[in-house]
Amino acid sequence: MYYLRDFVSKEPVHPDNLVFTGETTPWEVVMDLDSIKSKMNLDYFRQAPPNLLKYLPLLPIEKQAEFITLREAATPLLKSRKLGRNLGVELYLKVEGKNPTGSFKDRGTAVEISVAREKGAKAIILASTGNMAASCACYAAAAGIPCFIMVPEGVPPGKLSQVLAFGGHIVQVKGTYNDAADLAYKIAEEMGFYLAGDYAFRLEGAKTAAFEIIDQMLFQVPDYLVVPIGCGTNIGGYYKGFMDYYRLGLIDKLPRIIGVQAAGAQAVVNSFEQKTNKIETLASVNTLASAICVSNPLDGLKALEAINSTNGYAISVTDNEILAAQHRLAKEEGIFAESSAAATIAGIQKLIEQDKIEAHKKVLCVLTGDGLKDPQVVLKAAIKPPTIYPQTKDFLSLYENGFFDGKSMVFVEKTDTLFANSPSKADITRELQNLFAAHYSDEYVDKIELSLNKMVQKGKTITISDFQDSIQGVLESPRHIKADVFSVVDFFVDTAKDKKANAKVKVKINNTEYAGSAEGTGPVDAVIKALTHACHETLLFKLVDYKVEIRGQGTDANVYVEMKLQKDNGSSIGSGTSPDIIQASIEAFAEAYNGFNV
């Protein structure tokens, strides 16, 4: 029915354990298609609706009645309503995020876990950046087999939560995906576990997506197929699936296959551009698209074969291009795909601009995972929405000042310097328009100017990220506040190792100065207590909530503080933004105090 062989040497291999890959080269499954074809009714096969169980005769499953399935149906194949027209091609979208655990990995996992149970595996072990972890934990649970997952640090929490829900055992590894994969390989050999991952049997499940595409397109072949590349197994699976259908006589040509990688992890693209048949491991990788952040693609050679054998392309795209494509896909088609999946849209946009994809051709983009798998990357590009009190006038203030007319997301290098010195109102107004297409009232521009100038006074150069943080800080409190009621004239904080902090403050309330001092467990605690002490005679209140959020990266990142004060039956919320948590806390306190005077 099938046998295993080395992908490079083409020599048969005979493993004596449950690790189905070579140490330096990948293996592959060779199906006996001639025998399979002789037993198939191809006319019936053409008419049967697409789903994973339909393709069992073409899979290396010996006990088909015991195949581990979650009753997978064909994932949607949608014809673009708007995006394709705007790009000048006939665009189709294969939405693999509609698989049981939200990604394309379920196809390969169903086959792998079924093979593992056939071979009597006592446990499953694998390395993953998230999607495969969730998928294997799910199907292993269905099969009743323990599942151990080696995960590199930094994997999106949304993906790991699925693993925990399915009863998988997570072990975080300090290092890259390849470090985790090496560890899983060694444990599998030593413990006799089934090593799941981008190996021989997984590709056999991945190829069923190609079967589905042909079935769903009524046995027509798209001109181009665009697939993101991480380890290379998925794109290799599509190529093998098309080849299987071609050899069975179900199609008469193959699509040109295009592989897309992130610019920060483009090992396969490098080999394609250099016209070599060797994958060089990258010294480091850096991309927000975690599912394709791979330094050493295990099936990179299979990816190159898929691309070169079909006269296709390999192309890289930047993180900002990926984010912009993800946003465009969601906005124009109503499809929220994860960043790694949206790389395909960014890729075809670039190839169309380079005249490498002809107009009006059928282009099929594979969207490998659902956007809810990793929403944090979207939040990094999004402009945080304003917070208002439950009053109509607060919404009207935003609406009438044009807050909703600008962009909701911005795709730029957030670390680029925007202002080296204190910006003027004209500078701020200009950049609001350039970056966000936003027009804010003088009142809000004044607040942004004040916030930025405070950062500059602290010795901070204003980056685009800082500018966005300042805007968000202003939007957090859009109410009109009488800033002249309460202000902080000066403060001093003394703190040392293993000692209580001491703070002294001088404030002005209705043009009268007051002083306060206090000890605290830390500098912020001491300052807030000192402020409370200074104000106690003029306003009876208590601090009921205090929130801190770090915005940006590095030691000079901005700190956003939100504080809620309560007086009698009423409350007031204030916020502050600064590189200094103490100053941000003081600003939040002052705004909340002044809020009682609205």
Residue range 276-291, pLDDT digits in tens: 999 999 999 999 998 8
All structural domains of the chain with their residue ranges: 72-103+203-377, 105-201, 382-475, 486-595
* Record: fold of 72-103+203-377: Rossmann fold (3.40.50)
For residue range 557-595, list pLDDT tens digits in order. 788 888 888 887 778 888 888 888 888 888 888 888 887
Token pair listed for 456: 């500059």
Flag whether pLDDT at 478 surpasses 50: no
**What is the rounded distance in angstroms from the CA atom of residue 214 to the CA atom of residue 202?**
20
Cα angle 148, 151, 153 (rounded to 5 degrees) comes to 150
Is 520 or 598 the better-scoring residue by pLDDT? 520
The verdict on domain 486-595 having CATH code 3.30.160.270 is: yes
Beta bridge partners of 508: 487, 513
105-201 CATH: 3.40.50.1100
Residue 21 pLDDT: 93
105: Cβ–Cβ under 8 A, 6 or more apart, which residues? 99, 131, 132, 134, 135, 136
For residue range 237-248, list pLDDT tens digits in order. 999 999 999 999
Flag whether pLDDT at 373 surpasses 70: yes
**Whether the Cβ atoms of residue 284 and residue 293 lie closer than 8 Å to each other:** no
**Whether the Cβ atoms of residue 263 and residue 228 lie closer than 8 Å to each other:** no
Is 410 or 335 the better-scoring residue by pLDDT? 335
Checking phi first, is residue 249 left (phi over 0); if not, alpha (psi -120 to 50) or beta? left
**Is the fold of 72-103+203-377 the same as that of 486-595?**
no
Token pair listed for 486: 């309460």
- Range 534-557 average pLDDT: 75
Cβ count within 10 A of residue 334: 10
Our measurement of the distance from residue 438's CA atom to the centroid of its chain's CA atoms, rounded to an integer in Å, reads 27
